[in-house]
Structure 1
């Protein structure tokens, strides 16, 4: 029970640090690109701001829900709610990023516990690399981070493909961590490749007013920020796990931990 409590505490503290750092990077590097892209909405094809709300991705590779739209009455034209630019938008984005970080930290903590592979300072970097590849890099190979105003397939098929790709890639990492047998390498390779053979849902053939260089810069910065997020999360998670484990051992027998 104490081990689970310590693992949970390490996950939450690591997620808070990684989430706040990532939110700061997003504020200065990612959000300005989104705001710039929004000025092109309506000039060409691509999804509307409401659809784009589900498409903006944070550094962890998850949807940025700070732009979620709320439908109003049927009598009115469809209007959308979005946080106001400035402090409100930054606060919502920060909250979403920290909550996403906590979710990912708890996921890898659960994987560690049930697989019997501890997260330590020595291997926390590798946990971070595995998380980045599974949840960011592999899905981005088929579904690159998209700016508002860019054409995109329906949300549900993309979400299904994203989740399937992340799970398959994560399973490949876990398999290789548990065994080095030849068959394991073959199965892991198949798990990684199969989602891309199936293929991500394709975007409709529509024009986009968003400049290509802006989309490229957004994708590169988003993936770079994601890499920082996962390396900080994995390394700090492992360090805190070690610290809490040492403290547990240091408690005299029969004393309250």
Structure 2
């Protein structure tokens, strides 16, 4: 079983990550590059879409980074534009997809779910709703140069929202009694009633045009939806095929 879990998780993550990395190159990456022109005097730290979107604009800058200065004025290493930047973005995306695959497998096994293409795709859609769509309602994916609240505060809110959304969806879809399904409503609404952290109006306006920011937010969510759905579908596909191969081998003995 352990071997099967690792094999399926790695294969599904690798395949989904490669496909989505290619998709990013033609969708979100050009928008990020356009936004870099508006950063002005900020230190240059840029993130790929897939590493902003899952954290609700928390700006976990990874592969899309250019050399900038730290607080002491020293230059920080970062991938160069072009092939090096593309490779680092692809590796980060594959790592993210692999993590998603293991999360889906673990959740379905703990939930006693029979892993098929359809069930894994459904779990992938639910995971996107909890970890992507729900947090984005308060913290939309952000481009470099956009005004944002403290990173730690945004990460805390994102984690709380994703966790409570997952619990709320579980209660709504798997609750065995009416009162459990009813309890899902306040659980789902609580993070949004609490409110996501945003900078004060007095902090100034973002240098990034609103149209560019809106296109990036929409495109990031679309790409993330593809990543979750594709990862789920591949998890179901590889789980059945590797399982069938293992059973055939066992019968041959």
TM-score band by shorter chain is 0.7 to 0.9
* Aligned mate of 1:245, from 240, 243, 248: 243
User: Is residue 184 from structure 1 mapped to residue 180 from structure 2 by the alignment?
Assistant: yes
* Aligned mate of 2:149, from 153, 160, 172: 153
Task: Work out which structure has the larger RCO, using CA pairs closer than 8 Å and 6 or more positions apart in sequence.
Answer: 1
User: Is residue 14 from structure 1 mapped to residue 9 from structure 2 by the alignment?
Assistant: no
Q: In the TM superposition, what are the counterparts of 1:53-92 in structure 2 within 5 Å?
A: 53=46, 57-58=49-50, 61-62=54-55, 63-67=60-64, 76-92=72-88
The Cα shift of 1:92 comes to 0.7
Stretch deviating more after TM superposition (9-18 or 176-185): 176-185
Q: For 2:103 and 2:246, how far apart are their aligned partners in 1?
A: 23
CA offsets, 1:175-207, max 9 Å, x none? Answer: 344334212212222221111111111124222
Alpha-carbon distance change, 94 to 240 in structure 1, aligned in 2, over 3 angstroms: same
CA offsets, 1:12-70, max 9 Å, x none? Answer: 11111111111111111111111110101127xxxx345x54x6541762545114688
Q: What TM-score comes out, normalization by structure 1 length?
A: 0.86
Is contact 2:100-2:228 (8 Å) kept?
no
For 2:118, what is the secondary structure of its paired residue?
A: coil
For 2:137, what is the secondary structure of its paired residue?
A: helix
The Cα shift of 1:82 comes to 2.4
Q: In structure 1, list runs of 5 or more residues that go unmatched.
A: none
User: Is residue 107 from structure 1 mapped to residue 103 from structure 2 by the alignment?
Assistant: yes
The Cα shift of 1:212 comes to 0.6
* Aligned mate of 1:235, from 213, 229, 233: 233
The Cα shift of 1:235 comes to 1.0
Is contact 1:49-1:148 (8 Å) kept?
no
Alpha-carbon distance change, 250 to 143 in structure 1, aligned in 2, over 3 angstroms: same
* Aligned mate of 1:24, from 18, 22, 41: 22
Q: For 2:174 and 2:206, how far apart are their aligned partners in 1?
A: 46
Q: For 2:38 and 2:76, how far apart are their aligned partners in 1?
A: 17
The match for 2:198 is 202
Is contact 2:28-2:49 (8 Å) kept?
no
Q: For 1:237 and 1:21, how far apart are their aligned partners in 2?
A: 15
Q: For 2:217 and 2:43, how far apart are their aligned partners in 1?
A: 18
Q: For 2:157 and 2:102, how far apart are their aligned partners in 1?
A: 22
* Aligned mate of 2:37, from 36, 39, 42: 39
Q: For 1:130 and 1:182, how far apart are their aligned partners in 2?
A: 20
Q: For 1:70 and 1:41, how far apart are their aligned partners in 2?
A: 13
